[in-house]
Structures are given as C-alpha cells and as structure tokens.
Amino acid sequence: MGLKKLGLRRYCVLALVIVAAVTWISCFMKSEAPSSDTTTFSAAAGSMPDQTLDYFLKKGTLKDHNAADIQWYHAANSRDKITEALQDSTQMIEADVLLRGRDPKEPIMAHPPDNDSDITLQDWLKMVANSDKGIKLDFKSLEAVVESMALLDKVRDQLKGPVWINADILPGPGGTATPLDAQAFLQAVAMKADGDMLSLGWTTGWSPNTDNPGYSWEMVQQMEALCKNLTQPVTFPVRAALLPQSFVQFQWLLQQTDRYTLTIWTGQSDVLNVEDLLPYRQNFSKARIYYDLLENQISKFKSLPGYTISQLEQS
C-alpha cells in the first residue's frame, strides 16, 4: 500500500512538472510573436478587397477562387514579348518599368542593367488596353513612378483586367539591392492606385550551400506598419526558398487583415523543394496565396498528395 502511495505521489509530481513546462513554453512562444489586440480581421476605412480572382472567374478562365491557377507571363519588356504575351494563355502579364537612361528620359519597359528599350510604357499600355489581361508593373526606379502613374491614369478607362503595382520597398533577408524609398513610393501611388493591387516586397538574396535566413519578425512588422492604413489590397511577394523558416511570421501578417495576400515567387537559380510550400497551401485560404513559380515547379507542386488537403476545411 505504501509503495502504491509513493508511486502515486511521484506520478502527481511528474504531472505537475510537465504542466509547468508546457505552460512556460507556451508563454515563451507567445512572447516571440507580436501581440494582437484582436483575433478578428481589421481593415482601414474604405478599404477594398482583392478583385483579381473575381475578375478571372467572371471571364471563365478560373473555375474557383484558387490563386494557384493564375498563370504569369514574365518580363514582357519588348514589343515582341508583349505581343507574344497578349496572344498566349496566361492571365497576368508582368513587366519592368524604369526611366530611360538617355534623352528623352521617359518611362520604358526594361530590367536593370538594361536602361533602354524598343517600347515605352505609354505604347505598352496602349497595346494592353486592347486586351482583357491583367498587368503587373514592377518599378525598378523611383524616378519613373510619378510619370508612369500619370500615364496609367490616362488609359484606366480602357483597361479591363486587374492592375498590380509592384516595388521592393524594404530590405529583406540576404538582400543587397537598395529598395525604393517606401514613403516616397507609397505617396506616389496610393492616391493614384485606388482600385489597384499594391505588390509590396523586400529585397532578398539566396546563396547555395549556406544557411539562408528567413523573413524576421522585424521585417514583417515594418511592412505591416507601412500597409495597415492603406485602403488598397496588398500582396506581399515572398521568395519561395526562404519560406520554410518564415511560416509563423507570414501567418501573423495575414491575420492582420483580409486585404493581405502572398505571392510566392522563385529565382531562376534558387534550389526549391516544393514540398516546403505545403504548409502555406494547407493552412491558408487558397484564395490568398498566389504562386509565381517556374512551370515545372508549379506542375510538381500541384501533383503532391498534400496539395488538395486543407487544414482550414478540416477544422
């Protein structure tokens, strides 16, 4: 009987130790993440949700609100490229905008180190205005933004598809490029891009055979501070190879408002295990994660058994 009591006491002590340990770990993990006053979504007054998927659903090029089915044409920075992009099956056309490096200094379609092109933004927009595709303008220089937004305004009534305005405005993990000045960029586009999707990212880098850091709490908090009072929908372009170590940060970020989405992209030389993207597919609404991956990567990703499993639907 005495042995039984002794065993019971030891069991109770062990149970108390386990409960205390679990409580401490829970409190510690909560202290690592930014605090939130509420678990419900917040939004700036007069804010607008992302209309991209609704547009392509109405067109019949999407079957449901699945952002992974949006297809991209990249670097349509020449007359030949934009002509090809307008004729293929992709829904969104991405192109880069900077100021011409010689006179006349005007917005052109080019990606650094190029500083000249056979097509200006003005002519590019005229061609796109005759189509029903969406566009993503990726600004590579702050000097081109104000004039480009004025040119965009002139054709807005003719544009049928979604308009995304993209720039890297904060330094990110491994980033060596200088981001555009965040306040200056937002001031230039916020009043002019009322119904547009703002695509706001971090400069990043990735190196083989080394531990590449993910997006830190400081990085996502800085971005949220810049975006929380905007009225436009915002998508955050995030580098796929850096996402496995950044899940809790982006989980927190997307919880701040339903105006936020992610656009997962990859560098040409990045080593990416598409299996690492499954937590994002399974734990977020499929309408809130766009995938701008290489064709073979998105095909492999969609073939994974876990691709169709949603923790949201099971909860």
Q: How far is CA 220 from CA 62, 249, 253, in A?
A: 31, 7, 7
pLDDT at 190: 85
Longest dimension (CA), the chain: 98
User: What does the pLDDT look like over 161-189, one tens digit per residue?
Assistant: 999 999 999 999 999 999 999 999 999 99
If 0-12 CB within 10 Å is exposed, 13-18 middle and 19+ buried, where does residue 276 land? middle
Cβ atoms 73, 93 nearer than 8 A: yes
Cβ atoms 49, 94 nearer than 8 A: no
pLDDT at 315: 42
pTM of the model: 0.86
Q: Beta-carbon neighbour count of residue 120 at 10 Å?
A: 17
pLDDT at 48: 77
**3-state DSSP assignment of residue 145:** helix
Residue numbers in the chain where pLDDT is lower than 70: 1-47, 312-315
Given the candidates 3.40.91, 2.160.20, 1.20.1740, 3.20.20, the CATH classification of the domain at 46-314 is 3.20.20
**3-state DSSP assignment of residue 292:** strand
Cβ atoms 306, 314 nearer than 8 A: no
- Please enumerate in sequence order all residues whose Cβ is within 8 A of that of 180, keeping only pairs 6 or more positions apart, or say none: 139, 141, 142, 145, 167, 168, 169
| Measured distance between the N- and C-terminal CA atoms of the chain, rounded to whole angstroms | 46
Distance CA 45, CA 38 (A): 17
Pairing of strands 92-99, 107-109: antiparallel
Cβ atoms 129, 161 nearer than 8 A: no
Q: How many residues does the chain have?
A: 315
pLDDT at 5: 46
